[in-house]
Amino acid sequence: MNLLDSSLHPHPKALSFVFVFLALNNNTIIMTLESYAGDVHTVPQSENSTEERGGGELFVPPLNFAMVDNGIFRSGFPEPVSFSFLQSLRLRSIIYLCPEAYPEVNREFAKSNGIQVFQFGIERCKEPFVNIPDEVIREALQVLLDTKNHPVLIHCKSGKHRTGCLVGCVRKIQRWCLSSIFDEYQRFAAAKARISDQRFMELFDISNLKHSPLSFSCSKRHTHNDY
């Protein structure tokens, strides 16, 4: 696999959006990409925000969008207004963590852009002592950790709990300490953070996973030796 092959990586300007959205702490905004200067402007989102400014293209990321690592992104459910933004990421795969059938408009978007959709149906559960199924997360990880599927977007409905648990298990493989894993989870879940999710991530056994994301940029960060 040639890591220098530009076809395998998101558009460079798309990555600039990723870091801007991380910095803005997931506020709901619309980004306008200037064709030459590369300047990024923000305008409040409204129901009728469809205009273009300065000849640029409006990019609207999905709810709770963020970059997890090189070639891995996370978000809430992508609405059609976000399709142009997702196109700029040059996705190869989508990992969908809900049991409901994928909407036809999303399925058509994926098909027309050569994106493979992997569905791992995890029921939405608000019970305090009901865990996410271990075996389903393991199946999703096998897909997620296979770089042939990158760039990949992970999403559920809100991008908080199911997505947060899968990302948390990736962080365990990357040897992040639990406090950093929980901090990241809570940044997205906020007031809706669940003890059961955090317990699941803490107890998840990574010893028998076949793939190891040694090439991930964050694999040497937030380790136990840093604390």
Active-site residue, selected from the candidate residues 98, 125, 156, 165: 156
**What CA–CA distance (Å, rounded) separates 88 from 91?**
8
What tokens does 210 get?
A: 């076949």
Closest-CA residue to 85 (of 106, 57, 60, 102): 60
DSSP 142-163: HHHT-GGG-SEEEE-SSSSSHH
**Distance of alpha carbon 29 from alpha carbon 202, whole angstroms:** 34
3-state secondary structure of 5: coil
- Helix then strand then coil, % of the chain, to nearest 5: 40, 15, 45
Which tokens go with 119? 């569905």
Q: For residues 15 and 73, what is the distance between their CA atoms, to the nearest angstrom?
A: 11
Secondary structure element (H or E) that encloses residue 70, with its range: none
Neighbours of 179 (CB within 10 A): 11
125 is catalytic: no
- Return the DSSP state at 3: T
Can you tell me which residue has the tokens 């998101």?
A: 10
The H or E element containing residue 207 is: none
Catalytic residue annotation:
156
